[in-house]
Amino acid sequence: MAKLGSYQPREKVEVPDNLYFAQIKKIELKKWSEENITFNWTFEICQPPFLGKRVWVWGTTGTVPTPKARITAWGAVLGYSREQLADETKFDTDMLVGAYVKILLKTWEKESGGTKQGVTDLLPMNDVDTQVLQGFLAQLPPAGPIKVAVQASPVFQRPVTNAVPVVQQPPVAVVQPPVQITTSTVTAPIVTQPVQTTAAPAPVAPKRTSSFPF
């Protein structure tokens, strides 16, 4: 469960608005009034050029997981349902401290004037994100197992040596040669048959007619 405490900002460092890999460093329960209670989240950016420099950023959520509440969206990324978020015995913020997440840092204009920067979104991490994060953390001294806020993702050990960053290759288009369609005409062979000829009958010798006795 989050502990009641004061919100203690660190030395301000200019961090551009962007997506970052970060580690959850602290989740504190802040009671502004009986009706206004918030979770104050502290994150440390864990990627170059801020890697290892203890650059912290902050975000705030409510404590009531209504359908459109920020705590509901963040809880879903961290693997918690609305029912679990509403149950203090099932939503233990201390268990989330130390986990690595992907955050969106954004600057907006305040109604009272001026601007404010903070973490507005947590985004789900996929396998490629996890491998890229592992490559960044490999540049730091080993610190034991790493907790990653990604559903159904095992805890991986930080390697002692630098991990080779994963480079996604663009899909290779396989060009098939055009199919040559050949139209051919099949001609039946011409067979020359011998011509059957009918022989003319042999001439018949004329009958001899003579009155001579021999």
Domains of the chain: 16-157 (2.40.50)
Residue pair 24/39 in contact by the 8 Å Cβ criterion: no
**Full-prediction pTM beyond 0.85?**
no
For the stretch 52-67, pLDDT in tens is 999 999 999 999 999 9
CA distance 73 to 81: 9
For the stretch 186-199, pLDDT in tens is 344 444 444 444 45
Average pLDDT over residues 200-204: 53
User: Nearest CA to 28 among 58, 70, 68?
Assistant: 58
pLDDT band, residue 78 (cuts 50/70/90): very high
User: When comparing pLDDT for 104 and 154, which is higher?
Assistant: 104
Tokens found for residue 163: 């991990």
Q: What is the pLDDT of residue 2?
A: 52
Q: How far is CA 34 from the centre of its chain?
A: 42
For the stretch 147-183, pLDDT in tens is 887 654 434 444 433 443 444 444 444 334 333 333 3
Tokens found for residue 174: 């396989």
| pLDDT over threshold 70, residue 88 | yes
